[in-house]
Amino acid sequence: MNISKFLYKSFIALFLVSLFLVSCETDDILPAVELTVDAVNLGENSQSVVLTATLNSSATENITIPVTFTGTASASDYTSTSSSISISSGRNTGTLTISSIQDQEIEGPETIIINIENTSGFLVLGMNEITISLQDDDSDTDNDGVLDANDNCPNTPGDVNNNGCPFLGFLINEVLYDPASGSAGDANGDGTRDANEDEFIEFFNSGNQLDISGYTIEDASRLRHTFPEGSIVPRNGVLIVFGGGTPTGSFDGAVVQTASEGLLNMSNSGDFMTIKDTSGNVILTFDVEPLSNNPDESYTRNPDLTGSFEQHSRIDATNRALFSPGTKLDGSSF
């Protein structure tokens, strides 16, 4: 064996190994990063999740990690505090926050997919894609196009122009034919109780604005009231016709009239009231006979607008009030 050649080759091999070791010093190895998130489900009602980027060692200099956002959710569904995550020198983590934006569109669950954007300066370790499920909190139980949150009748299909409730038409909601004795019976609020003047019929217009000029109210014997020119009842508006007197008070903004023939004269022993349009067509009736027990209070629908007629004070929500012209039975506005 040629000793000189052997030693020369050994020296060359040792030199190459030295170069390799020098080139693989820690300072030349790129930092590795991994993405995590504190929750994978994000509620629509202005909730937030935190996205964290973690290095496998402390950064030796400031690092910026760009991220991309894709998925089925659009930019109008959420916001992010940044499009990148910054990690300061000496630290090994950085974060950004993703927040949902509340809307009123039925969209179903959507996704937010987050990836680390291709760039130099670091290696991707482990999970580099995060999927967040954005949960829609809007629902429309009755499928009428009005979200439950805004639907006054969430279980009954209705009209979008009526807060999700069906239009019921022009109806009678409350009738007082037997005012109580004394001041308790002063339904028209003029300071005087009168058996005829404090009678009233409360109408509700569950529909578009209605002109009832020329319509009439008759009892079993004769004409009692003709609605004067300009009798306009707004959509979801209330109209009250008292027997007479000088109705005093706001009646919660209701249209208020008194009987044109001087009294309504609803007989306590039984009567039949008929409302006709200008062509003489019957549009409403009210039969006093089944309710003619002289109750000293009104009869009102319970619940308002859709229920059967019941004695006013016997309904718990009325707090024993004897009548409620212009308002719901509990005194609240329609």
pLDDT at 108: 76
Note the helical H segments in the chain: 3-23
Residue numbers in the chain where pLDDT is lower than 50: 6-8, 11-13, 15-27
Q: Is 274 helix (H, G, I), strand (E, B) or coil?
A: strand
pTM over the 0.85 mark? no
Amino acid at 150: N
pLDDT at 125: 64
pLDDT at 73: 92
CATH 2.60.40.2030 domain residues, the chain: 28-135
Q: What's the CA gap between 200 and 197, in Å, rounded?
A: 8
pLDDT at 123: 81
11-69 pLDDT, tens digit per residue, is 444 544 444 444 444 445 778 899 999 999 888 888 999 999 999 999 988 999 999 99
Which tokens is 6 given? 């052997």
Q: What's the CA gap between 269 and 25, in Å, rounded?
A: 108
Q: Is 234 helix (H, G, I), strand (E, B) or coil?
A: coil
> By the 8 A CB rule, do 258 and 224 touch?
no
Strand partners, 98: 49, 80
Chosen CATH of 28-135 out of 3.30.110.30, 2.60.40.2030, 2.40.30.60, 2.40.50.140: 2.60.40.2030
pLDDT at 12: 47
pLDDT at 16: 45
pLDDT at 236: 93
Q: State the DSSP H helix or E strand holding residue 10, giving kind and residue range, or none if neither.
A: helix 3-23
pLDDT at 135: 83
pLDDT at 163: 86
Q: What's the CA gap between 33 and 57, in Å, rounded?
A: 9
DSSP annotation string for 133-186: EEE-----TT-SSS-GGG-SSTTS---GGGTTPPP-EEEEEEEESSPPSGGGG-
pLDDT at 23: 41
pLDDT at 7: 47
CATH 2.60.40.1260 domain residues, the chain: 149-318
Chosen CATH of 149-318 out of 3.30.413.10, 3.40.50.1820, 2.60.40.1260, 3.40.50.1100: 2.60.40.1260
